[in-house]
Amino acid sequence: MKKDLITISDLTKDEALSLITRARELKAMLKNGVIYQPLKGKSLAMIFAKSSTRTRVSFEVGMTQLGAHALFLSTEKTQMGRGEPICDTARVLSRYVDCVMIRTFEQSDVEDFAKFATIPVINGLTDMYHPCQVLCDLMTVQEKKDDFLNLKYAFIGDGASNMAHSWINAAATFGFELRIATPKKCMPNQALLNSARRGGAGSIIVTNDPKEAAQDADVINTDVWVSMGQEGDRNEKIKHFSGFQVDDALVGLCADDYIFLHCLPVHRGEEVSEDIFESAHSVVFDQAENRLHIQKSILLALLGVE
């Protein structure tokens, strides 16, 4: 494996599959009360420039369960917030901790951090990607459906978001069929799409029609219309999403046994109706739980525990 996990594209298909397999083993061990602490004495620094519930708690609890320790660093309350350069912070933290997880705005900041850090760096979400989330989502699909490679996936929402972009990378890596329905103003990054289509085995369709994307989908997935950092443009942005709610009519087009995914937090009544979010097809809380197991699997792999 590469030193860092910055995007799903850092992983080969086999590496990604083994992260998911290991996460499921770790989940079973935890449920069976097995104590497994191969990371005793190790530390993870978690740098947050944006809010978080799941990512923060799952990484911190995951490290504790593995016998290790995690520290929460808000950019605002460290010297990063006063302008200490990334290249210096990365080199200093590399002297103290064994791994860093960063949630921030610019993808290039995580890339720079990883370039200067001598320890593994994990992307905990940027404006461009959210790789840990999509690995967890695929683990959840595998649990529910056994095989997750030969399914049809629909993503209904902001095609230019970190979630849509990570799904594009996942489709290229794993080779499944992905249909993204997004308003014309929110099309995915074209360079990413071109490269995923060129290099990947998957079929990636981008449409402005949610019905086309939802037709026969096994997995229907959405995310907030306004991501962190875009709140100032909220009123203007949500105007483009009329007709994009995952509701009864839309899921009526999906396969009968479809599952609904959402990375959370959700805006009920916007990207998804209350009924669908709370329905038996919705697996969002199992999905949220799986963040814990996939983070542990990622940490073990990057820290070299076989």
- State the Cα torsion 78-229-155-13 to the nearest 10°: -30
At 73, the amino acid letter reads L
Minimum CB–partner distance for residue 228 and ligand NVA (Å): 4
Residue with smallest beta-carbon separation from ligand NVA: 227
Find all residues with CB under 8 Å of 299, minimum gap 6, and list them: 39, 44, 59, 62, 63, 66, 68, 99, 122
Among 187, 228, 253, 266, binds ligand NVA (CB under 6 A): 228
By CB under 6 A, what part of segment 251-270 binds ligand NVA?
Answer: 263
Minimum CB–partner distance for residue 142 and ligand NVA (Å): 21
Q: Which residues bind to ligand CP, rule: CB under 6 A? A: 52-55, 125, 133, 263-264
Residues recognised as catalytic: 103, 130, 133, 223, 263, 291
Cα separation values, 197 from 133, 171, 194, 205, Å = 22, 9, 5, 10
Closest to 249 (Cα-Cα) out of 156, 160, 145, 144: 156
Q: Is 221 in the site for ligand NVA (CB under 6 A)?
A: no
CB nearer to ligand NVA: give 151 or 160: 160
* Candidate ranges 64-72, 134-142, 159-167, 275-283; the one touching ligand NVA (CB under 6 A): 159-167
CB nearer to ligand NVA: give 117 or 134: 134
Which of ligand NVA, ligand CP, none does 215 bind, CB closer than 5 to 8 A by kind?
Answer: none
Tell the burial category of 55 from Cβ atoms under 10 Å away from its Cβ (0-12, 13-18, 19+): buried
CB nearer to ligand NVA: give 10 or 158: 158
Contact pattern from residue 95 through residue 124 relative to ligand NVA, giving x for each residue in contact according to CB under 6 A and a dash for the rest: ------------------------------
CB nearer to ligand NVA: give 100 or 160: 160
Chain residues that interact with ligand NVA, rule: CB under 6 A:
125, 161-163, 223-224, 227-228, 263
